[in-house]
Every structure is written in structure tokens, then in C-alpha cells.
Homo-oligomer: A and B are copies of this chain.
């Protein structure tokens, strides 16, 4: 059975881009500089450059992480905002090379693109999109491609089996946060690290998502027995 996986680049303060901005030219917005910093290691990888039909790049361990992230999914799920932003720049041969299921409120005909990518528009929600992606993925995994809101939503709903975070050693101070999930203040989402690859540019940690669990006080080794009883 396919797992539902996602991966994200984040700063040490948990941001994947600068603060949201209404600047119509996104490249001039304050969102862009943080996003570019966090994803710089990706654009330096040979696997990414190859997928985008660019010359050069470095074949290193970060490159292998990217190559693997292209190889594992047999289908993708994507939010409407990410699709809208990508439709034009991705062009006739988008980098997914697999069926993509776009969660949206607007009905639209399926789009077939070159290189194995298709876009199917799903109007009955994320769970339905995941079910359709699982059927299309065969033995491979279903990846939530993004954006952040879609991944967050999958985490909140307990639909994500695995999350790989690419921790980039920079502090942005403020920005869009991928993990500000809407759960109670007395519960957290527990994860279990299953693989760790550390490089100077980025630390890749792949987590199994255990799911929501209550956050409990302990007695601090008996030091604070009865704490909170007063």
C-alpha cells in the first residue's frame, strides 16, 4: 500500500518563505528572498538541474536526496494555489512525470502533458485526491507536492505517513510557517526520525508521522511532585 509522503525545506525557525506579501510580482515580494535561500541547495543539485533540463550541478549526497525524491512517488497531490502558480512556468513538460491530482473547487478537464505528467482536478477534497493518487501510484508512494497549506492540512487530518524535513541553517526571523498546524495547545504531533543525512548545507531528517498525542506534564524526576495542584 502506498505511503503518503511529503518533504519540505525549512529554516531553523520553521519558515519555508518570507512573510506573505501581496506584491503582484512574486520575485519582488518579501516572500521570495527567504524561499530562495532555503531552496538554494536544491538548485545546486545535479538531479534538479537535470530534471529542469539545465546544465551542471553537483553530484553529492544532497543530489542523491533530490534524485530519490523524484524517484519515489508514483503520483502527486497538489493544492490549487501551487498549481495556479506553476501551470505556466512548468510548460509542456512539467517536472512531475507522473499523474498529479489537484485539489480545487473548480471543475476542469484533465490536462495531459508530455513526459508522463497529467493534471486531474479533484473537487471533493483532499482525502478523495489521496485515494485517487493511491490508485494511480501502484507500488510507489503518493507525494503531497505542496504548497505548505496542503501539507499542513494533511498533517492536521492525520493523512500523512512520512515527512522529510530539509533543515537549512539560517534564521529568517519571520515568514510563512509550514508547521503551524491548527491543533489544541495541549496536544502535539509526534514524529519518529527514521533517517538522517547531515551535510554543511542542509540536514535531511525523514520522520515517520506518529500522529497527535496529548502533551503531558511530568514530575521532573520527582522534583515537582504535585505540580499544578495549588
Q: A169 to B203: give the CA distance in the assembly, Å.
A: 14
The answer to whether the Cβ of A115 comes within 8 Å of any Cβ in the partner chain is no
Q: A155 to B171: give the CA distance in the assembly, Å.
A: 10
Q: A34 to B179: give the CA distance in the assembly, Å.
A: 15
Given A43-B221, A57-B221: A191 in contact with B169 (beta carbons within 8 A): yes
One of B12, B37, B224 near A215 (C-beta < 8 A): B37
A170 near B183 with CB under 8 A, answer: no
Q: Which residues of B contact A54 (CB under 8 A)?
A: 221-223
The answer to whether the Cβ of A85 comes within 8 Å of any Cβ in the partner chain is no
One of B11, B56, B203, B214 near A221 (C-beta < 8 A): B56
The answer to whether the Cβ of A67 comes within 8 Å of any Cβ in the partner chain is no
The answer to whether the Cβ of A66 comes within 8 Å of any Cβ in the partner chain is no
Copies of this protein chain in the complex: 2
A215 near B36 with CB under 8 A, answer: yes
A52 near B179 with CB under 8 A, answer: no
Q: A205 to B198: give the CA distance in the assembly, Å.
A: 10
Q: Which of A23-31, A76-84, A102-110 is near enough to bind chain B?
A: A23-31
The answer to whether the Cβ of A193 comes within 8 Å of any Cβ in the partner chain is yes
Smallest CB gap from A177: residue in B = B13
Q: Which residues of B contact A222 (CB under 8 A)?
A: 54
- Per-residue CB proximity of A3-42 to B under 8 Å, as 1/0? 0000000011110001100000101101011101100100
Closest 8 CB pairs of A and B: A27-B228, A33-B215, A14-B14, A13-B179, A30-B185, A171-B189, A169-B191, A173-B181
